[in-house]
Amino acid sequence: MTLATFLGADWQTLADAFGLGGIYALMAVGIGLVFGVLRLINFAYGQLVMAGAYSLAFAYERGWPVWVGILLCFGVVVALSIAMDWVVFRPLRTQSPAVMLVATFAIAFLLQSIALLWFGSLGKIAASLSSLNQPWTIGGVDVRKISIVSAAVAAGCLIVLVLLLGRTAVGLQMRAAALDFRTARLLGVRANRVIGSAVLLSGLLAATVAVLMTVQTPLVTPDFALRDTILVLAGVVLGGMNRLVSATLGGFAIGFAAGFLGGALPTNQSQYLPSFLFAAVILVLLVRPAGLFTRGSQQAVERV
Amino acid sequence: MTPALELDGLEVRYGAVHAVRGISLAVDRGEIVGLIGPNGAGKSSTLHAVMGAVSVAAGDVRLDGRTLVGRRPEDVARAGVALVPEGRRIFAELTVEENLRLGGASGRNGNLTAAYELFPAVYEARKRHAGALSGGQQQQLAIARALVADPQVLLLDEPSLGLAPQVVDVVFEALQEIRSSGLAILLVEQRAQRTVALADRSHVLANGRLRLTLGPQEAGDTDALVAAYFA
């Protein structure tokens, strides 16, 4: 019996679930990296993805080559991430978590409003990579290319990230800062460099997510990726916020569940999906408040 | 000659609380200066002020004659001051070797060999998670980590706290060896008599002020110590 028949789903649904799980895992890492060093839940993360998607649509409308669109997407998202860090995160770094959370809410809605003013509510099309929606036939089974590409890109990004965090000096410093920022600074770890690196990496991940997401959802509206961000945040909390690995697993799990249920449920019942997912989130948090993928009791680390 | 570390009328305030009230002292190369006194005397605050982890309300802190006041902790570390913090503050979830490599985060040296030579126990445990080490090994790791940065000045905040007497011996012997390599050491301790015996001179701190300075020959003079503590 194969996994697909065991789960009562076809291969396409399973591949979709892996693809969406991969995308959500990348978003979870992006949110988790910044949380690690700043103790800040960046609610505006989805708007970075949105900005990237609009960049792709902008390039598509003008008929620019695909690589130019992707380059523009990365440029815009990374610039926006760094601007967020400089204008908001750094000045507010020593404030309470509530202040920082509200600040990221404000950024999220500000960016959304700007998108609405500039591009209107009808949305723009970013379809330069739509050929990835065509199927690949593997062993007689049709699977859409984007599902496999998403899962593969996510896996590749995660491997690079693991190497970066595990094998480089700045990676080690980022891990140390996430564990105990005060002591890390006393050892000479430059706070701004570590935070800047986390923000930069999280921006690169957001841009990657934007490229992958626009393939499946080419219509870019001001609320692009908003629902996904909320789901990923739930997944991150579900997995365990204090560890990058558990946060990533949480993101993957909720993406996989959303992708799987979205494909398995009959179309006329798919509107139940969010309520079902969030009911499951509440249930898990009641049973394991520290997170699904954490060991023992873990307390929030102090901020600097 | 300019001392390696010099505190000049140092004052620290936390809101209305006046934790350190005008301390002046100097530590030369190849010298251990002890800072002893009861809980809440201002010992840790003094070290944190040197590191830039708390702000200096008045006075000056100089490394090789250059002021450190107003600099961030990471910049003080990069200038050549290393702190072995109270409670060791090692990264329990990282390996021993990763902890040591973080000692090189100051960009000064990053060479682990000398630290391993001084603490063979740390070398033997280098692949293990630091959290799996005993308290004594963790303390040795914390000192080794500070030395990896190749500092000019070493600050220690109660390195013997919670350690068994034999382990305290190991730590104090290591401090002697570090001193002979030419570092300037400022040692904050609760174990007053041992500190007075080890240090080139020890200052007794109470209520944020220096009360008394003792030399190693006065380590047996319990009366003077007790009087200074309760002054």
Answer whether residue B114 shows pLDDT above 50. Answer: yes
Tens-place pLDDT, residues B16-54: 899 999 999 999 999 999 999 888 889 999 999 999 999
User: Which chain A residue has its CA at the smallest distance from B82's CA?
Assistant: A187
Tens-place pLDDT, residues A89-126: 889 888 888 898 899 999 999 999 999 999 998 999 99
Q: How far apart are CA A168 and CA A201, in angstroms?
A: 14
β-strand pairing of A135-138 with A141-144: antiparallel
What pLDDT score was predicted for residue A222? 94
Interface residue A117 vs chain B (CB under 8 A): no
What pLDDT score was predicted for residue B25? 95
Max intra-chain CA distance, chain A: 60
- Residues of B numbered 139-178 whose beta carbons fall under 8 angstroms of chain A's beta carbons: which are they? 145, 149
Q: Quick check: B72 and A191 CB within 8 A? A: yes
What pLDDT score was predicted for residue A144? 87
Q: How far apart are CA B103 and CA A271, in angstroms?
A: 54
User: Which chain A residue has its CA at the smallest distance from B87's CA?
Assistant: A183
CA dihedral sign, ordered A159, A252, A256, A271:
negative
| pLDDT band, residue A289 (cuts 50/70/90) | confident
CB B71 within 8 A of CB B62: no
Tens-place pLDDT, residues B183-200: 999 999 988 889 999 999
In chain A, which residues have their Cβ closer than 8 Å to the Cβ of B74?
185-186, 188-191
What pLDDT score was predicted for residue A135? 83
Q: Which of A172, A180, A186 is nearest residue B98 as measured by Cβ atoms? A: A172
Most confident range (mean pLDDT) of A90-99, A143-152, B68-77 is: B68-77
Q: Quick check: A172 and B89 CB within 8 A? A: no
Smallest CA-to-CA distance from B179 within B5, B28, B25 is with B28
Q: How far apart are CA B225 and CA B161, in angstroms?
A: 19
- Residues of A numbered 170-199 whose beta carbons fall under 8 angstroms of chain B's beta carbons: which are they? 172-173, 175-176, 179-180, 182-191
Average pLDDT, chain A: 88
| CA distances (Å), origin B33, targets A149, B53, B176, B213 | 63, 21, 12, 10
Q: How far apart are CA A146 and CA A155, in angstroms?
A: 14
Smallest CA-to-CA distance from A20 within A244, A301, A264, A193 is with A264
Q: How far apart are CA A16 and CA B167, in angstroms?
A: 58
| pLDDT band, residue B231 (cuts 50/70/90) | low
Tens-place pLDDT, residues A229-255: 999 998 888 888 778 888 899 999 999
Q: Quick check: A183 and B105 CB within 8 A? A: no
Contacts of A2 (CB under 8 A, 6+ apart): none
Q: Quick check: A188 and B145 CB within 8 A? A: no
In chain B, which residues have their Cβ closer than 8 Å to the Cβ of A191?
72, 74
- Residues of B numbered 194-223 whose beta carbons fall under 8 angstroms of chain A's beta carbons: which are they? none
> How crowded is the C-beta side of B172, counted as CA atoms within 13 Å?
21
What pLDDT score was predicted for residue A8? 59
Here the tokens at position A260 are 């799987």
Q: Which of A172, A179, A180 is nearest residue B101 as measured by Cβ atoms? A: A172
Q: How far apart are CA B35 and CA B214, in angstroms?
A: 10
| CA distances (Å), origin B147, targets B3, B37, B176, B178 | 20, 26, 14, 9
| pLDDT band, residue B225 (cuts 50/70/90) | confident
User: Which chain B residue has its CA at the smallest distance from A177's CA?
Assistant: B91
Q: Quick check: B107 and A188 CB within 8 A? A: yes
What pLDDT score was predicted for residue B147? 94
Average pLDDT rounded to a whole number, residues B124-153: 94
User: Which chain A residue has its CA at the smallest distance from B147's CA?
Assistant: A187
Question: How far apart, in Å, do the first and last CA atoms of chain A sit?
Answer: 52
What pLDDT score was predicted for residue A9? 64
Burial B23-42 (b: 16+ CB within 10 A, else e): bebbbbbebbbbbbbeeebb
Average pLDDT rounded to a whole number, residues A4-24: 80
Answer whether residue A18 shows pLDDT above 50. Answer: yes
Quickly count: other Cβ atoms within 10 Å of residue B117's Cβ: 12
Q: How far apart are CA A17 and CA A179, in angstroms?
A: 32
Among A54-63, A243-252, A292-301, B161-170, the range scoring the smallest mean pLDDT is A292-301
Q: How far apart are CA A38 and CA A192, in angstroms?
A: 11
